[in-house]
Structure 1
Amino acid sequence: MRDLQRVDDRFVETAPLRFTNSVDLAITPEQLFDVFHDAEAWPRWVKALTEVVWTSPRPFGPGTTRTVHLRGRIVGEEEFFTWDEPRRIAFRFNAVSTRLVTAFSEQYDVEPVPGGCRLTWSVGIDVPDALRPPMRLVHGGLDALFASFLRRLRRYTDARLDN
């Protein structure tokens, strides 16, 4: 594992590579947090994930940790620095098994809207200097990938309502 820069909640706004996408969901913010709590749910909508393991006991809050396994045999150790249920969670990767990133953070903002809630997902990434030019070239593709994860989340939460 390789230690990453310990970023805070401002990183998703200042990172060299930033992505923000939103989706309206037909569930309440509390129901969305039930999905966030469920380790088995994450790989169903974030297709880059193969496994999520909470490494902190409940109740979750700031300082909660988990280990995520991603495609390509990448492993990340995450720490949540914000847990304000049912409005916001944010975490950073403290360590990762690849040299492709130097800092990584995600923030999930949830607001009630008529008929459910709106999730805004922001991602901040920094990479080694040599990778910055090619990452800028694939920025649009990564943004489309992140947006597709939110469409998958919508299908996942809609299916849960049908059961």
Structure 2
Amino acid sequence: MSDYFECTPVGLDFLEQTKNVYKAEEIIRATPEQIFEVFEDEVSWTVWAFPIQRVEWTSPKPFGVGTTRTVYMMGNMDGYEEFVAWERGKRMAFTFVGCSKDATEKFLEDYRVTDLGDGTCRVTWYMAMENRGGPNWSDALIRPIMGMANRWMFKRFKKYTEKYALNANEQAARSPKA
């Protein structure tokens, strides 16, 4: 097991409490159900979120508020997450309760899905964080880079999810009707 450093768990209001908030938004050709199927698939995260090496759900299905998982990332960084919001098809958010590196104090990701109809959704991703010891001079330098990296990753999420949805739709069209 790697080192474990407790983080300060945060709620959804953390997005309004910190300067280090990154937002990415995409219109995705997929249903809310298909988007959540991708969110729940531990392998999908390793495809679109390049720092993620492996995801392990540590709570059984059905997932909801209080669900836990461990995310193994590049640089031997492991994030121990607890979900603070879970409304299937609409929203999921998690906070770090622990991390294998002693740098992260607070961390939150919030994914919001808006059904636009016709098999299309707007998906908005917020990521907010604070380092242990509070802000430092490098935050201003890192902020624009993190914003660009997150938008790039979310374009990968869009591409992956649209391919997943297309395959699911084609498979459903080929299935015999009951």
TM range (shorter): over 0.9
Q: Which amino acid aligns with 1:22?
A: E
Separation (CA, whole Å) in 1 of partners of 2:164 and 2:9: 35
Paired residue for 2:7?
4
Paired residue for 2:50?
47
1:75-116 residue CA offsets vs partner (Å, 9 max, x unmatched): 110000110111110100000011221110000010012441
Q: Percent identity?
A: 31
Which residue among 66, 86, 90 is the counterpart of 1:87? 90
Q: Which one has the largest radius of gyration?
A: 2
| Deviation >4 Å, runs of 4+ | none
Q: Which amino acid aligns with 2:42?
A: A
Separation (CA, whole Å) in 2 of partners of 1:161 and 1:67: 26
SS in 2 for 1:148: helix
1:134-155 residue CA offsets vs partner (Å, 9 max, x unmatched): 0221110100000011100111
Point out where structure 2 has 5 or more consecutive residues left out of the alignment.
Answer: 168-178
Separation (CA, whole Å) in 2 of partners of 1:158 and 1:46: 15
Separation (CA, whole Å) in 2 of partners of 1:159 and 1:15: 35
Paired residue for 1:134?
138
| 1:130 Cα offset (Å) | 6.5
Q: Tell me if the contact between 1:12 and 1:106 (Cα under 8 Å) persists in the aligned partners.
A: no
Paired residue for 1:154?
158
| 1:63 Cα offset (Å) | 0.3
Q: Which amino acid aligns with 1:150?
A: F
Point out where structure 1 has 5 or more consecutive residues left out of the alignment.
Answer: none
| 1:38 Cα offset (Å) | 0.5
TM-score by length of 1: 0.95
TM-score by length of 2: 0.87
Separation (CA, whole Å) in 1 of partners of 2:98 and 2:134: 20
1:15 aligns with 2:12: no
| 1:8 Cα offset (Å) | 0.7
Separation (CA, whole Å) in 1 of partners of 2:157 and 2:117: 18
| 1:159 Cα offset (Å) | 2.1
| 1:13 Cα offset (Å) | 2.3
Distance 1:15 1:87, change over 3 A: same
| 1:131 Cα offset (Å) | 5.5
